Structure 1
């Protein structure tokens, strides 16, 4: 039996176990076997982490933009240099295929850190001016202070980057809590930062939901940022309200994928099947809720089913044809399976619909057609490799169906008509609208949603600004012209 690894917290630059000595088992989803333990942090650990972050903030807040840029560029270089090691850690952490983790996550992460390194040097307030005779006014953008951050299990290392990079670029200090099932890569990232940044600027506490609640309720952080479920976001917002903390919430999604009769069918099938099944559909923007116009509906369903059936899942580092790996945990696998098993009688499971018969938590690529708007599979975020298909008649019906959800994160439109694309981009009530593509993101553009998908933006200058506060400075000089 392989040796069980012992993971640790990072507090004030030191590796520490939980003060209570309690631990969590960390399981590789591809095998279903525990491979590590991590601290089950309690109030004493969270308090120590925020004390360290609070002390560090008194110096880090005065770091210059060029100093923060240099630190982030060094961090990006460390990720790039340690990419092979980090990919191995993340794949054991998540059960993802190695080739996709290396090609689709490491490069964007490095680019995102370097973007925020540059952004640190162009963040400014409004130019000063005289808005009242005898006085000069200016606006300062300042770091908020110590920040509590909670990262999810679907993209553990990338979501940690989305949180750490803008917070640090703006001059904040951080206590990060990774998911209870996937802490390993966040610890690796924090260890690299500990070699670059002053002591206490970045701290990591591992733990469960109670640890996260303790982090949110702690009096030191002035902001709490979470990527996770809508339920978790509501809990954070409720707890933060008692202390009037700022919240940054990137939550669930149910992205409509609107396919019109005039679509380039071959291109749409390829793009939608990959965007729906990538990472086993465990993505809040996944293209898993398809609305297809009646004229092309039957052909679309048949071709989508073929593409899904030809998609391979599993965990073999040498097999580059595997598109996605394991579901993260047994509870999530049960959620996905249950939704498909409860599909109504009018629905058709065109392909898939079963757990894969092998070790670990794998589910077949699945297409369910003929669904109706009030069906559970349409209303509920599946977060698994299950694509649903509904039929619509005209553009107005497509918009009505697409917007009829509590979520508002992402969407896409597939059409050869530029007018249709332009109208849908305006009418869809989602924070992102892709046209003839689905899921690509760039560091320069914001990612975030509306309604139950939360508020605040990841990536872009908007994210950096979210991690700042605005101060008006007005100075009397007496000159009235």
Structure 2
């Protein structure tokens, strides 16, 4: 019998009147039953978080740090269970850069944030007055998470909120809710009731969360169109917002690049999590001088990467997570082929019940082709030839996206010059898609609003209070 999961509200397991089946994208087998939450469930969760905030905001800084360390310990203890569940519902391999890697990220981020602090800043301490800047929690934080890195992104949203004295209501993607339901159940057990709550359901529940008058901040990771809807629904109550939205990251390979040495980094920069990563490399501009060598080196490396059911040992890439994304990747590659694109590798869906699309390298494409212009979010990479560096930089910058970018080559001076000209929240040199808890991360243009991680990221969960007193 399939396992039935429940919501966690005010520290209690809460059932629903109806449930939906969640299936494994690798083989369509049943993973578990997810509760379909209602507006009443959401109201109860927000009310619980609002009530818990009254006491949680008054808890000492050290007590909140201890709570985060306790969460990290719980995640370590339950990593085998959570990683297995994540592979079953999301599809990524258990090993390699897959589910165990994601759980390791959850632990690492939680442990780092536990050690962060927001000390009082003395702005003036003179003969007439003392002026201090304090960081205060906002209140109830609403979290809306995607399906590609569901547990790690949930941790990115939740832990800074808890650490700074806020409370949380999280609504995970309806495609991958089970791991989040179980993780919040575990996290809630080491926190006071109501500090972290989870409700599940369709997208409308997320809209109701982002417009709720008792929610003081929304943290959303997802697509640009949905991010715009979140921003619009939050406007009525002037909520604080952190939006990490889509990316169509460009990489430029310079003519002096040692492409054989860099091929592995290029590959994983593009194809980590089967390309289902906002900050993955999605457009590769390669100079004429090294174009053929780059294509050959990438194809050679990619041909040795096994793809298959993530629960089977040895597989390093899994399926697309859902049918909608699977169909989109097929559509974009077929469109590229219809406009003269040539597949060096892949290009045809794999046989079987799962949503498997092979590693696909497409050349003979230009800007204006959908596969280049749109975020494919899958294992298909367009490789675009260029001869003039200024033109390549202009094309890399010429989109609504601005999450990440990268430049690859040998001359450090040129690499830095190009990096400074690329328009993105993060620009990598000779690597891509590398993030860390101490380094602020966020997009520009339509790729996001605000930043996560680092000191700036934790400060985003607070407001400033100035205390100004005479001496």
TM-score, length basis structure 1: 0.95
In structure 1, the residue matched to 2:431 is 437
Tell me if structure 2 keeps the 8 A contact 1:309–1:352.
no
Which of 99, 102, 116 aligns to 2:113? It is 116
Match of 2:39 among 29, 40, 43: 43
1:438: Cα distance to partner? 1.4
Please say if residues 26 and 310 of structure 2, whose CA atoms lie closer than 8 Å, have aligned partners that are also in contact: no
Residues 305 and 214 of structure 1, relative CA distance in 2, 3 Å threshold? same
1:236 equivalenced with 2:234 (yes/no): no
Aligned ranges for residues 238-257 of structure 1 at < 5 Å?
238-257=232-251
Aligned to 2:7: 9
Counterpart Cα distance in 2 of 1:156 and 1:426: 32
d(CA) in 1 for partners of 2:31, 2:111:
33
**Alpha-carbon distance in structure 1 between the residues aligned to 2:327 and 2:362:** 17
Please state how far the C-alpha of 1:425 moved relative to its aligned partner: 1.8
Instruction: Return the offset for 1:385.
Output: 0.3
Deviations 1:105-126 (A, max 9, x none): 222221110100000xx21242
Cα distance in 1 for residues equivalent to 2:464 and 2:76: 34
Corresponding position: 1:193 with 2:193: no
- 1:339 & 1:49 partners in 2: Cα distance? 40
Contact kept? 1:249, 1:456, Cα under 8 Å: yes
Residue number among 2, 25, 29 corresponding to 2:25 in the alignment: 29
Asked if 2 retains the 8 angstrom alpha-carbon contact of 1:297 and 1:391, the reply is yes
Distance 2:25 2:34 in 1: 16
Q: Greater shift after overlay, 206-215 or 336-345?
A: 336-345
Question: What is aligned with 1:75?
Answer: 71
1:389 alignment counterpart: 383
Aligned: 1:98 with 2:98: no
1:138 maps onto 2:132 in alignment: yes
Q: 1:149 touches 1:224 (CA, 8 Å); kept in 2? A: yes
Distance in 1 (alpha carbons) for counterparts of 2:458 and 2:85:
28
> Can you give the 5+ residue segments of structure 2 that lack an aligned partner in the other structure?
none
CA offset digits 1:221-251 (Å, max 9, x no partner): 1101100111111110000011111111001
Root-mean-square deviation (CA), in Å? 1.4
1:349 corresponds in structure 2 to 343
1:253-293 per-residue CA deviation (whole Å, 9 max, x = no partner) reads 01111111111111221111122122110001112310101
- CA deviation after TM superposition for structure 1 residue 316, in Å: 5.1
Deviation for aligned residue 1:81: 1.5
Tell whether 2:374 aligns with 1:380.
yes
1:208-223 correspondence to structure 2 within 5 Å: 208-223=202-217
CA–CA distance in structure 2, aligned partners of residues 386 and 347 of structure 1 = 12
Total equivalences in the alignment: 469
Query: Pick from 263, 269, 277: which aligns with 1:283?
Result: 277
CA shift digits 1:199-232 (9 cap, x unpaired) = 1000000111101011111111110110011111
Query: How far, CA to CA, are the matches of 2:434 and 2:67 in structure 1?
Result: 27
* Inter-partner Cα distance in structure 2 for 1:456 and 1:93: 30
| Equivalent in the alignment of 1:127 | 122
Decide whether aligned partners of structure 1 residues 247 and 264 sit closer, same or farther in structure 2, where only a CA change above 3 A counts: same
Distance 1:407 1:187 in 2: 32
Q: Which moved more, 1:63-72 or 1:263-272?
A: 263-272
Say whether the 8 Å CA contact 1:407–1:452 is kept in structure 2.
yes
Tell me the CA shift for residue 318 of structure 1: 4.1
Residue deviations 1:113-152 (CA, integer Å, cap 9, x gap): 0100000xx2124214257x74322111001110100011
State the Cα distance separating 1:309 from its structure 2 match. 2.9
Aligned equivalents of 1:470 and 1:200: distance in 2?
Answer: 25
Of the three residues 320, 330, 334, the one matched with 1:337 is: 330
TM-score, normalised via structure 2 length:
0.97
Corresponding position of 2:58: 62
Q: Mean alpha-carbon deviation: is it higher for 198-207 or for 366-375?
A: 366-375
- d(CA) in 2 for partners of 1:281 and 1:220? 37
CA contact (8 A) 2:87 2:99 kept: no
Question: SS where residue 342 of structure 1 aligns?
Answer: helix
Structure 1: 5+ residue runs without aligned partners? none
Q: Does 1:326 align with 2:319?
A: yes
Separation (CA, whole Å) in 1 of partners of 2:100 and 2:85: 15
